[in-house]
Amino acid sequence: MKRIAVLVVGVLALGAIVWAQNPLLINGAGATFPYPIYSKWFDEYHKKFANIQFNYQSVGSGAGIKQATEGTVDFGATDGPMNDDQLKAFQDKRGSGILHFPTVLGAVVPTYNVPGVSGALDFTPEALAGIFLGKITKWNDPAITGANKGVNLPANDIVLIHRSDGSGTTYIWTDYLSKVSDEWKSKVGKNTSVNWPVGLGGKGNEGVTGLIKQTPNSIGYVELIYAAQNNIPYGAVKNSSGSFVKADLASVSAAAAGAAKDIPEDFRVSITNAPGKSAYPISSFTWLLIPQKFQDAGKRDAVKGFLMWMLADGQNYAEALSYAKLPKEVIEKEKKAINSIQ
């Protein structure tokens, strides 16, 4: 009997300790693309401040925007900025605005499987738009061979592979194609999933990669991080200053730096086809969506503290996980924006 009593008291005491140390829980949901770095950040931040715990569900950008609007989470995250209708919906529902905070950068790269071609291919915007519109159907089309002198491209039909699931990767890719091709813009447009003129769909980066590996003469697009971590060969793309650039951390950061000078106050900016000689043209920010007004002052201060840390120490974790860091100009601007959170 005595032993049981001791046990009960012990368990209760333990429970009380756990209860007393119960951290402030801040819930977020959204984009899957930045999930590895976000979970690293939230983990590191919790180690630093044991009383604050962020909880992030990578459910997709669309779901992130929806949940933030409905107020079921404290913050959202997205790969494509919210459009004006979505901002208005948030304003109507919650009575105050929502702010975009760029966190890191990513890129999307063209990957392919052409028998007999081992080196990296160069793609012009015209070639990519033509292939994805279904107008360029053979690998030896002059639009492709013109940029790849000395590479023996076969006269085979191109098999196009795209994402079948809605995805920020598709948003960035179609955003780029919309900028470089008026026909793409009017016929297809940009979105997390679109009405593809041609091609097969694979689910996720791994589905697209799997289909490309298996299908000779295929071309598709995947996230830079996925391609880098899985040693998937990918091509260079001609940027707005006319040079062919292969995606890497430096060229993606360069794209952000090129766009940073005239970044708008609300940070909702697309940096595809950005200016700059060394800028990789299919790059993008990814954003945290933070409500302008918090009901709970504790949560507000915790979020503000985290954002400041993310812009300073947090950026140092980015490159190890293959994300490009934010340019300095953007960081300075964001620090000012943090003050407007109430």
Partner 1 sequence: MATAKTTLPNAGPVSGSRSFLSRLRDGDEIARLTTMVFAATVVLITLLLVYELWTDSALARAKFGLHFLVTRVWDPNIDQYGALPFMYGTLVTSAVALLIAVPLGIGAAIFLAELAPPRISDTLQFFIDLLAAVPSVIYGLLGVFIIVPLMRTVIFPALNEPLGFMPFFKGPSYGVGFLTAGIVLAIMVIPYIISVSREVLLSVPSDQREAALALGSTRWESTWKVVVPFAKTGILGSVFLALARALGETMAVTMVIGNTPTISASLFSPGDSIASVIANQFTEATGDVYLQALVELGLVLFLMTFILNGLARILIVVTTQKGSGVPV
List the Cα angle 124/171/249 in 5-degree steps: 65
Question: 164 or 315: whose CB is closer to partner 1?
Answer: 164
Does 98 bind partner 1 (CB under 8 A)? Our answer is no
Does 57 bind partner 1 (CB under 8 A)? Our answer is no
Does 199 bind partner 1 (CB under 8 A)? Our answer is yes
Measured from the CB of residue 184, what is the shortest distance to partner 1 in angstroms? 11
Does 62 bind partner 1 (CB under 8 A)? Our answer is yes
* Contact range with partner 1 by CB under 8 A, out of 35-43, 57-65, 103-111, 309-317: 57-65
Does 193 bind partner 1 (CB under 8 A)? Our answer is yes
Amino acid of residue 80: G
β-pair type (24-30, 159-163): unpaired
Does 106 bind partner 1 (CB under 8 A)? Our answer is no
Does 201 bind partner 1 (CB under 8 A)? Our answer is yes
Decide: 113 and 213 in contact? Cβ < 8 Å. Answer: yes
Does 255 bind partner 1 (CB under 8 A)? Our answer is no
Measured from the CB of residue 94, what is the shortest distance to partner 1 in angstroms? 17
Does 195 bind partner 1 (CB under 8 A)? Our answer is yes
Q: Is 134 left (phi over 0), alpha (psi -120 to 50) or beta?
A: left
Does 66 bind partner 1 (CB under 8 A)? Our answer is yes
**Strand locations in the chain, DSSP E?**
24-30, 52-57, 75-78, 98-113, 122-123, 159-163, 200-202, 218-223, 236-238, 244-245, 283-291
The contact pattern for partner 1, residues 206-225, with x = CB under 8 A and - = no contact, is -x--xx--xx----------
State the Rg of the chain over Cα.
Answer: 23
**Segment (H or E) for 85:** helix 84-94
* Of 168, 316, 324, residue with least CA distance to 257: 324
Task: Please give the residue ranges that form the binding site for partner 1 (CB under 8 A).
Answer: 59-63, 65-66, 86, 157, 159, 164-168, 188-196, 199-203, 207, 210-211, 214-215
